[in-house]
Amino acid sequence: MTKAETNFLVKLRSSGLRPTKQRIKICEVLFNRDKTFHFSINDLTNIIQNQHNEKISLATVYNTVHAFKKKGYLKEINIGNDMSYFDTNTTSHHHFYDEQTKELIDINSQEVEIKKTPTPPNGKKIEGVEVTFKISKKSSL
């Protein structure tokens, strides 16, 4: 077993998941890469079915992704209009969201400066600020 595979088993077990062939495939797609990966449950299911020729149900992908999120291996990003994306970069950072290509792009946290923050409701504190900049293609004049 390779070091990566051992790592996948650790991730699955610590998330309370039985390491099935399908779930190990999910780990390969998510964690065997050096760049940040943004995806929806549907994207990930399609990638595994079409690019890896592995039969997998939406429910398995859903359960696994949510278990990883709960454990802190993935982060959920809400774009609004019910679109939910997941991110393999779990640090605090900002995004561009391209509404035409439905693509998320990371922005380094140092590139965004928040000048004014609202006072949180009584008994609450601000945990973090994550901003999504919606982008679209410039219209040519």
Write out the residues near Zn ion by the rule CB under 5 A: 87, 89, 106
If the CB atoms of residues 7 and 89 are measured against Zn ion, the closer one turns out to be 89
Task: In angstroms, give the least distance from the CB of 66 to Zn ion.
Answer: 18
Three-class secondary structure of residue 1 per DSSP: coil
Task: In angstroms, give the least distance from the CB of 132 to Zn ion.
Answer: 10
**114 CB burial (10 A radius; 0-12, 13-18, 19+):** exposed
Q: Can you give the three-state secondary structure of 98-134, one letter per residue?
A: ECCCCEEEEECHHHCCCCCCCCCCCCCCCCCCCCEEE
If the CB atoms of residues 24 and 79 are measured against Zn ion, the closer one turns out to be 79
If the CB atoms of residues 66 and 94 are measured against Zn ion, the closer one turns out to be 94
CA dist 99 and 91 (Å) reads 23
If the CB atoms of residues 12 and 104 are measured against Zn ion, the closer one turns out to be 104
In this structure, are strands 132-135 and 94-98 parallel, antiparallel, or unpaired?
Answer: parallel
Task: In angstroms, give the least distance from the CB of 38 to Zn ion.
Answer: 6
Residue with the two structure tokens 């008994």: 123
Task: In angstroms, give the least distance from the CB of 31 to Zn ion.
Answer: 15
Task: In angstroms, give the least distance from the CB of 130 to Zn ion.
Answer: 9
If the CB atoms of residues 8 and 87 are measured against Zn ion, the closer one turns out to be 87
* Residue 77 near residue 95, CB atoms below 8 Å: yes
